[in-house]
Structure formats: C-alpha cells, structure tokens
Amino acid sequence: MGAHENKARARDEAINNAREAALAEGVGLFVRSEVQTENSRLLSSKVYTLTQGFVGAHEVLSEKWEPDNVCRVTIKAPVFLGKVADALVALGDQLRLVGNPRVVLAIQPPAGAPQLVRGAAEGTLRQLLKEQRVNVVEAATLSQEKQRRVQNLRRLGEPEAADALELMNDVDLVLTGSASAVPQGEVTAYGLKGRFSSRAAADLRAVCTATGQVLASYRANAAATHLNQEAASEIALSNAVREWMARGLGAVKLALCEPAQCYQLTVAGAESTAAVDRLVDALLATRFAREVPRRAFNAPVAEVDVLYVGPVDSLRTELEEQEAVPLQVKEATWRTLTLRLLPGQSKGG
C-alpha cells in the first residue's frame, strides 16, 4: 500500500512496500516500519539495507485505488534467497541473543568413533554458545521424563515438536541433529607425507521449545589434516560446528530479535477475574506491551500471555515499577515470568 498527494508517488511507494513485503516473506521475517526498541530498529534497517537488491524484476498482478490517493498493489517477484542468506549471516554477527536463552544439546554423535571424536561436536558447541552468553543446560539436571525427551531428540536426530514442547519450562532452545566424521587416511599435504585427513559434517537444527518451530536448519561440512587420524577427525568436526554456528546462529538471533515476543505469565494470588483484569490493564499500560492475546483463570492461579517488545528483563522491570497492581516477580526466564499478586490497594493509593 502507498499513499501520497501525487498519484505516481503513491503507486511507486505501494510497489516498493510490496517488494519489501516479498523480501520479508522470503526470509521469514516481518520487517516493521514503526519505531520499536533499539534491537528492532537495528533489525529493520539492517535487514532491508543489506538485502533490498535481492528481489528480482516484479510483475504487478493487481492495482486498486482508494480515496485520498491510497494505492494497493499485488506483485509477483522472485527473491534470491541464496544471496539473502549470505547477507543475513553477516547481520547475525551484529545482533546479540535476547535474554540469555537456555539451550540443551541433543546431538547424535558419530557412530563407532573414539570417545574424543564423539565429544568434539558438543564440546565445540558448548564453548561457542557460552561465548554468546547462552546458558547451556545439562540434560542430567532435568527430570527423568525430560531426559527421555532429550534422548528421543538425540536418537532420532530430527526435531520432534512434541518432545521439544515438553521441555518448554526448563529450556528455551534445543540443538538437535547429527555429527559425522569420515577418516580419509594418509595424504600428502604441502609436499609432506605422513599426515592424515578427515571429512566431517554437522547437520543441526535449532528448535524453539515454546512453539516447536525450527529456527535454523543447516548442514555444514569441513575437512582437516593432522599427524594423527583421530585428531584430524576431531578438528574436522570442530570446524564443521564452527561453520554451522557462523550461519545457523545468525538465523536464531534474527528469529529471537523479532520486535514483539510472546511472554507467558503464571500469576499466583489471583482471587478473582477482576484481579486478573486489573493485571491485564496494568500490562497494557506498560510502554512496550502490544497485546494480551490469551488469559486463563482458575483461582487462585491465572495464566496470561503478553506480546511485549524487548527482553524479559525489561518486562520484569516495568511490572515491578508499575503502581496500579501490587505484585512480586518471583522468577523470570527467557520467555516466562512467575509472579504473585499482593493484597492491598494500588501502590499509588
């Protein structure tokens, strides 16, 4: 859609907006034009600046004019996703993950490989994730049922939404898939004999436990040589994982930096629907809350979903500082908050 006092300008604006929408749909992003938080401004401007040249010649399928020189168009245009993907990798390096999400690793290791090689993929992932301020959750700390879900994901090497969703309260992301290493034997490298080669692959997927959605899926390949065959396989696996992180983590960052996130609130001390309504009104009065799409009430506990622009720490701060509803935030994780409504009048009353 475009609107301008000059009809030609209005039509050009509508087509440009349609091309931007085609690009956003092609890369799985919704690029908002409204001013949001610093992260979303960075996301909106950088994505479009980096990728606007990757939409091909368009064809106008329909054109409709409305009062006040409002033009609506529908276009057909190819999006060059390969070039877009490369640009998004570069963009991912400039974004940080929101809220220090919790990640559990469910990687199927190379079958029949020595222990050192089997642990290379997960070891490298742990190191790189911690460098990104990601909390890597040890599967052994989960309940037996949750451990079984992780084992299912590791054994299958494929993201199963049911297993991922069952982990929602304990972790935010699951990295699943498989790693493989194939020794290539002795080779001559740089004119020198006595070195061994290995090829490796990391076929990994990042799954959001809140939705079961696959945020990133990519197969990375790498090779390495060394004086020792086992060491060559270990290095090749580490290189493959680093290649996956360079591309896959960028996609995860982009998914997690969408302007509005859905946070799930579990509210204790909710003695009536009126109390829940007051809490919802207080939420909607906060600066960056956009919508409360769901609420459920079973005294004395309520569940409330809120679409909020910003990390969970910002939402927590706004809730603690608002004066309409006395409350205490008991716990905050990546996408969830647990709070208790306190008896008494409003803070300002």
Instruction: Classify 252 as helix, strand or coil.
Output: helix
Asked whether residue 129 falls in the same domain as residue 48, the answer is no
Domain stops at, among 256, 274, 300: 256
pLDDT digits over 38-63, tens only? 344 344 444 444 444 556 677 888 88
Asked whether residue 184 falls in the same domain as residue 83, the answer is no
Rounded to an integer, the average pLDDT of 313-338 is 89
Would residue 347 count as lying in a domain? no
Asked whether residue 294 falls in the same domain as residue 190, the answer is no
Asked whether residue 252 falls in the same domain as residue 265, the answer is no
Domain stops at, among 203, 237, 256: 256
Amino acid identity, position 35: V
Of 86-100, 147-161, 182-196, 255-269, which range is least confident? 86-100
Tokens 């960028």 sit on residue: 250
Asked whether residue 115 falls in the same domain as residue 196, the answer is yes
251 in Cβ contact with 86 (< 8 Å): no
Rounded to an integer, the average pLDDT of 293-311 is 86
Q: Which domain holds residue 265?
A: 261-341
Asked whether residue 332 falls in the same domain as residue 204, the answer is no
C-alpha distance from residue 28 to each of 16, 23, 79, 105, 254 (Å) = 18, 8, 12, 25, 10
46 in Cβ contact with 91 (< 8 Å): yes
- Please, what is the end-to-end C-alpha distance for the chain in angstroms? 47
Res. 207 pLDDT band, cuts 50 70 90: confident
Would residue 348 count as lying in a domain? no
pTM exceeds 0.95, yes or no: no
Q: CATH number for the domain including 250?
A: 3.30.160
pLDDT at 86: 57
Asked whether residue 147 falls in the same domain as residue 217, the answer is yes
Provide the CA 101 distance to its chain's centre, in angstroms. Answer: 9
Instruction: Classify 315 as helix, strand or coil.
Output: helix
Percent of the chain with pLDDT strictly greater than 90: 20
Rounded to an integer, the average pLDDT of 312-333 is 89
Asked whether residue 111 falls in the same domain as residue 247, the answer is yes
Residues 6+ apart with CB under 8 A from 321: none
- Look at the chain and report how many structural domains it folds into: 3
Asked whether residue 184 falls in the same domain as residue 274, the answer is no
Asked whether residue 115 falls in the same domain as residue 205, the answer is yes
Q: Is the pLDDT of residue 5 over 60?
A: yes
pLDDT digits over 106-157, tens only? 888 777 777 777 788 889 999 988 887 778 888 777 778 788 777 777 766 5
pLDDT digits over 28-40, tens only? 443 333 223 334 4
Q: Residue 24: which H helix or E strand, with range?
A: helix 7-26
